[in-house]
Amino acid sequence: MIGCLVLAGFAFGQLAFGQEDRRARVDVENYTIEATVNPATQTLAARVVVRFIPQDDAINAVTFDLNNNLNISKISDDKGNAITGTRNPQDNTVRLAFANPLDKDQPVTVTFNYDGRLTGSEESPIYGIKFAAIQPDRAFLLYPSRWFPVNNYSADRFSSKISITVPDGFTAIGSGVGSKVGQVFTFEMNKPSFPGSIAVVKDAPVRIASGGINTLLYFRGAEAAHADAYGEATAKMVDHFTGVFGLAPYANLTIVETEDGAPNGYSAPGLIFLNPRAISKEVNSNVLVNQIARQWWETQVSPVNRNHIWLENGMALYAEALWTEKEKGASAIEQRMRDAGITALTIENVPLIQASRLEDYSPEYWALTGGKGAAVVQMLRSTMGDEKFFKAVKNFLEQKAWQTATTEDFRKACEAAMGEELRYFFIQWIESSGAPEFKLEYTIFRTSKGFRVQGKIAQDLDTFRMPVDLHIETEGNPEDKRVEVMGTSSEFSVDTFGKPKKVSLDPSNKVLRMSPQTRVEVAIRRGEQFAQVGELADALKEYQKALDTQRNSSMAHYRVGEVFFLQHSYQSAANEFREALNGDIQPKWVEVWIHIYLGKIFDISGQRDRAVNEYTQAQRTRDNTQGAQEEAGKYLRTPYKDSSREAV
């Protein structure tokens, strides 16, 4: 099955936002962490000194995030006096009650002592995703796991001194300047960022030096064979994005393999963590680029709060598109951005500037902050022009280095480079929800010097304002013009030399907008999200919406076939896969996977000859999307068996 997003609860995100909003405001300046990681017992013991500054008057209580699986033995102030801490398992927090109100702007020091087991099988602070695991031969403790007390998650930048004690034969890895005394590994970072992610490894790294950039890679098992390729790719990507974003905060990176259940990728200052699924013979450039970009768009500059997180996630996803553009050309980035736009349009009523309403790591969160964020960045680039856009990006990163930033900060950087006011753009795409659906009407007139196209562009958003491209095919050379679309109806007049034959609006899909075809793709994408979490009835409803609009959509039929296959309704699945073969065969990869699924169905029903024929047809397509050729070859050698039924 081609991978798709996971659907997660929306209501919890709203609750968490409300809870966080009620907390007393403090600014954590520094952590001093002394921790012992014991792989044999899969345990962590830590003493953490937190220095913070109260931001409000007369604070009596302060709340920190801390992983539920860690048991607090003592909390004390700088004089050793005990502080009462109350755990709230519902949101992985601990509330500290102070005997006397804290003075605003005066430093406070609190020490936590705690321990616990983190095997990776416990419930995570972010449901369903493993951010911490201590195994007998390795460990990783990522910042989102809240393995140390966290304030204002993903927003409150801090400096740190982290000392990790590990047994003989193990090495600890962290962010900042490292040192070692015996088996105590210390990492000190003086610049405020997010240095709280740690790895513990046994094997020596693979060292790759390429183009003046040094990369250390800790890959295990079968993935170790791909370390050289990932090291070379990392160097090329860091070099390229240094030209795009400016000097890298960390050019020499360390890349560590995690394990199944962890996020595909995670970035910390100077560190990148990759799930084994993201490590393959062919470098997974999307995941790698996304995490490398976060060295600028998180480590160096981060959003002031989660309402501005599109700056981080949108830019990281857009970096994937920029790499695609570099490697495969302009047409490739158009397809990448169209895909991002489809994902973005699955979220209809939440503006980018209200992203804190969404649960962290949920598909809605990624669709809005990543998908729409990247689409907005692409539209901004189109509006400003390449030279001014990339100048603004570099200036912004330089001016806000090692600080938090807001959307307004970014807007001002863009306006300074553009020399024009861009408030209208940010109102439309950041502060508002919805997307236009254009309707184009035009008439062609002959003039003394050639021809004139007069027309009207209609759409349904009152506040919309955006420059939109017109592509005019003529009997001679085609002509491209840019017109300003403002409000629900905008008239235009364009003179051409050759006689116009066809006029297209936004031919490169630079504007995030609806159309009949887009509605089909959005419905399919929503169905994929439901199917991934087993909500198959809801998935079928979304696929049916797509088929109601476009009956020959191979993608919609293919997804329906997948659902029936999961439900063991094999004849219905085969019927849908046949319908898909008779459809528009878009995208092209559906063809190879249809033949593989049909082969599996015939194997299950004991028709081996017909199964072999389908696998052979899959090979003839030469399409290797998501390892299709390896899959077909596997079942040509050995018949497919339904393991889920065997388990029953």
Same domain, 392 and 475: no
Same domain, 334 and 262: no
Q: Is 76 exposed, middle or buried (0-12, 13-18, 19+ CB in 10 A)?
A: middle
Q: How far apart are CA 249 and CA 187, in angstroms?
A: 16
Same domain, 184 and 246: no
Same domain, 331 and 257: no
21 CB-side CA count, 13 A? 10
Domain boundary at 233, 261, 293, which?
Answer: 293
Neighbours of 641 (CB within 10 A): 12
Quote the DSSP letter at residue 560: H
Q: pLDDT value at position 644? A: 58
Domain boundary at 409, 433, 457, which?
Answer: 433
Same domain, 209 and 183: no
Look at residue 298 and tell me if it is in a domain.
Answer: no
Look at residue 541 and tell me if it is in a domain.
Answer: yes
> Quick one: which of 102, 82, 101, 85 has its CA closest to 93?
85
Look at residue 133 and tell me if it is in a domain.
Answer: yes
Same domain, 316 and 454: no
Token pair in block for residue 131: 């951010």
List average pLDDT for each run of 10 residues in the chain, which is 648 residues long: 36 37 90 99 99 96 98 97 96 96 97 98 94 98 99 98 98 98 98 98 97 97 97 98 98 98 98 97 96 99 98 98 95 91 94 96 93 97 97 98 98 98 96 94 92 94 91 90 92 91 91 93 92 87 96 97 96 97 96 98 96 97 93 96 58
CATH number, domain containing residue 279: 3.30.2010.30
Same domain, 285 and 313: no
Sign of CA dihedral 96, 98, 104, 109: negative
CATH number, domain containing residue 160: 2.60.40.1730
Q: How far apart are CA 505 and CA 518, in angstroms?
A: 15
Max CA pair span of the chain: 91
Same domain, 429 and 443: no
Same domain, 130 and 263: no
Look at residue 510 and tell me if it is in a domain.
Answer: no
Look at residue 198 and tell me if it is in a domain.
Answer: no
The total number of structural domains in the chain stands at: 5
Look at residue 14 and tell me if it is in a domain.
Answer: no
Same domain, 404 and 288: no
Q: pLDDT value at position 593? A: 98
SS3 623: coil
353 CB-side CA count, 13 A? 11
What predicted TM-score, i.e. pTM, was given to this entire model? 0.90
Same domain, 365 and 457: no
Instruction: Give the structural domain span for 635.
Output: 516-523+534-647
Same domain, 78 and 180: yes
Look at residue 489 and tell me if it is in a domain.
Answer: yes
> Quick one: which of 125, 128, 89 has its CA closest to 8?
128
CATH number, domain containing residue 371: 1.10.390.10
CATH number, domain containing residue 561: 1.25.40.10
Look at residue 5 and tell me if it is in a domain.
Answer: no
54 CB-side CA count, 13 A? 17
Residues in CB range of 603: below 8 A, 6 or more apart = 611, 635, 639, 640, 641
